[in-house]
Amino acid sequence: KRVTFDWSNAKDYINLQEIQAYSEKVEKCHAELHEGTGQGNDFLGWLELPQKYNQEEFNRILKEAKRIQENSDILIVVGIGGSYLGARAVIESLQHTFYSLLPKEKRTAPQILYLGNNISSRYINDLLDVIIDRDVSVNVISKSGTTTEPAIAFRIIKDWLENKYGKEIAKSRIYATTDQQKGALKQLANEEGYETFVVPDDVGGRYSVLTAVGLLPIAVSGINIEELMQGAKDAYADLLAPNLMKNDAYLYAAIRNTLYNKGKTIEVFASYEPSLTYISEWWKQLFGESEGKDGKGIFPAAVNFTTDLHSMGQYVQDGLRNLFETVVYVETSNREIVIEAKEQDADELNYLAGKSLDFINYKALQGTMLAHTDGHVPNLTIMIPELSPYYIGYLLYFYQKTCAISGYLLGVNPFDQPGVEAYKKNMFALLGKPGYEDRKAELEKRLKG
C-alpha cells in the first residue's frame, strides 16, 4: 500500500490531454532537480535524504531521545517555521489527541511543548506555569541561530532551567540543533558544551523535517523514526520516474499548475481527521513559502472537516470561484466506534445503527466532494492508508517532491524565502537594533503619519 493521489473527481475541470501536455515540461523540471541544475540548487540536500542520511547522527538522536525519555516529563521544542512545524506535524498526527490529559501510566514518553514560535508573553508565562513541578529538557532549533522569536524564548527558558537545576545540570538538559559551524546559537552551544545536532547547509527549514530538526523531538515523543524514514525512503524510490503518468507527485504538481492557470489560485487542504491539523500547517508553510514569490503562487489554505463545513463550508460551496480543494483522506482508522440501536429513537439516529463513524465520515466526504464539485470547486484526493510513522514519512516526502516540481513549473525558486526578510528589517529598526538607524527614522516618520 502507498499514499496515492487521485484526480478522477476533477475531470470536469481538467482533461487528460491538458495533463499530458505537461509531460515534457515536467521531465525537464525533474532533470533540473535531480541533476542539480535548477534554481536554488544549493538547497537540494532534502532530495536524497531518506536514503543518504547521517547514520552516526541518527543513532545519536535515538540515544539522546532515550536519555530525555528517562529523565524528563516534558521536552520543550524552541523554534519557529521550518524549525518546529515538521516535528509538530508528525507528533500531533500520530500521538493521542489528548496526550497531556491521559493518566500517567498511559503516557509512555515525555510530552512535547512548543516555545519560540511567537512573541506572546501570555503564551510563554502560561507555559512556565505548567512546567513548574516537572522535569524538563529543551531542544532549541534554529538553522541561522539568530532568529528573534526562538532566541528570546531560549534566553527565558535557559534562565528557568538554570534556576531550577543549577548551571551544570541545566547544560546537560539542553540540546541545540543548528548550523554545523556558524551562528550565535552554535557559538553559545560550543561555549556551554550543549549536545548539538546539525541542520545541513543544503537543507532549508521547511524541507528539514527528516533531519535532526524533526527527528529528535519526534523520537522523544515515542514515535518510531526508523519507520518514518522507511516511509520517506519508499516514497523516494516510488517518485523517481520522470514521466508524470507514472509519478503521483509530478501528476499532482502538473494538475495544480493547470488549475492555477485556469484562475484557481487558492488550494484548500481539506482533511476529515483533526489530528492532521499540524500536517496542514506544515504543508501551508512548505507550499506558501516555496511558491509565493515574484507576484505568483497558489495560496495554500486549510480546513478541518466536518468541523469547518459549519463555517468555511459556506465559502467553499458558494464564494468566489478561485478555489480548488485537495482532500486528504485517511482510509483506515485504528479506533473504531459503531452506532448502537436504541429502543427509543428520540434523537432519530437509529437509521445509522450498525454503521461505524468512519463510514459516516466517509459518506460526509463523498457528499461534500460532490456538492463542492457541483459548486465549481475541482476536487483532488490524497489517500493515506492509515496514520502510522511509515505513511506519514511517505506523505512528507511526497509533498516535498510535489512542491519542488510545482515551484519549477511555476518558474520560481522553491527553495528560497526572500519575502520573510521585510518584516524582520522593519521590526529590528523599530526596536532600535544597532545598524538599522536610518530605517528606524524613516519608519517612525511613516508611523507618525
By CB under 6 A, the residues from 417 to 436 that bind ligand PA5 are 417
Q: Does 256 bind ligand PA5 (CB under 6 A)?
A: no
Least Cβ distance, residue 76 to ligand PA5 (angstroms):
16
Spatial CA neighbour of 254 closest among 10, 4, 23: 23
**CA dihedral sign, ordered 120, 121, 124, 127:** negative
Spatial CA neighbour of 286 closest among 144, 91, 417, 178: 417
Least Cβ distance, residue 429 to ligand PA5 (angstroms):
19
| 295 conformational bin, left if phi > 0, alpha if psi -120 to 50, beta if neither | left
Tell me how many residues contact ligand PA5 (CB under 6 A): 14
By CB under 6 A, the residues from 164 to 183 that bind ligand PA5 are none
Crossing angle (nearest 10°) for helices 225-238 and 389-410: 40
Q: Does 407 bind ligand PA5 (CB under 6 A)?
A: no
Look up 289 and say whether it is catalytic. yes
Q: What does the block give as the cell for 297?
A: 503562487
Contacts of 1 (CB under 8 A, 6+ apart): 385
Least Cβ distance, residue 219 to ligand PA5 (angstroms):
19
Closer Cβ to ligand PA5, 150 or 378, answer by number: 150
Contacts of 88 (CB under 8 A, 6+ apart): 77, 112, 114, 278, 281, 282
Least Cβ distance, residue 22 to ligand PA5 (angstroms):
27
Least Cβ distance, residue 449 to ligand PA5 (angstroms):
31
DSSP conformation class of 309? G
Catalytic residue of the set 289, 291, 293, 401 = 289
Task: Determine phi and psi for 427, rounding to 5 degrees.
Answer: -65, -45
Task: Out of 195, 289, 291, 325, point to the residue binding ligand PA5 (CB under 6 A).
Answer: 289
Whether residue 84 contacts residue 214, with contact meaning beta carbons closer than 8 Å, is answered with: no
Closer Cβ to ligand PA5, 143 or 233, answer by number: 143
Closer Cβ to ligand PA5, 142 or 379, answer by number: 142
- Per CB under 6 A, which region of 98-106, 143-151, 368-376, 425-433 contacts ligand PA5? 143-151
Closer Cβ to ligand PA5, 319 or 419, answer by number: 419
Binding mask 65-84 for ligand PA5 (x = CB under 6 A): ---------------xxxx-
β-strand partners of 198: 178
How far is residue 326's CA from residue 251's CA, in Å, rounded to a whole number?
Answer: 13
How far is residue 14's CA from residue 10's CA, in Å, rounded to a whole number?
Answer: 6
- Per CB under 6 A, which region of 141-149, 189-197, 311-319, 375-383 contacts ligand PA5? 141-149
Distance of CA 234 to the CA centre of its chain: 19
Collapsing DSSP to helix, strand or coil, 68 comes out as helix
Q: Does 139 bind ligand PA5 (CB under 6 A)?
A: no
Catalytic residue of the set 424, 425, 437, 442 = 424
Instruction: Output the furthest CA–CA distance in the chain (Å, rounded).
Output: 77
Look up 63 and say whether it is catalytic. no
- Per CB under 6 A, which region of 14-22, 138-146, 260-268, 390-398 contacts ligand PA5? 138-146
Which positions are catalytic? 289, 424
Residues lying near ligand PA5 in the complex (CB under 6 A) are found at 80-83, 142-144, 147, 150, 204-206, 289, 417
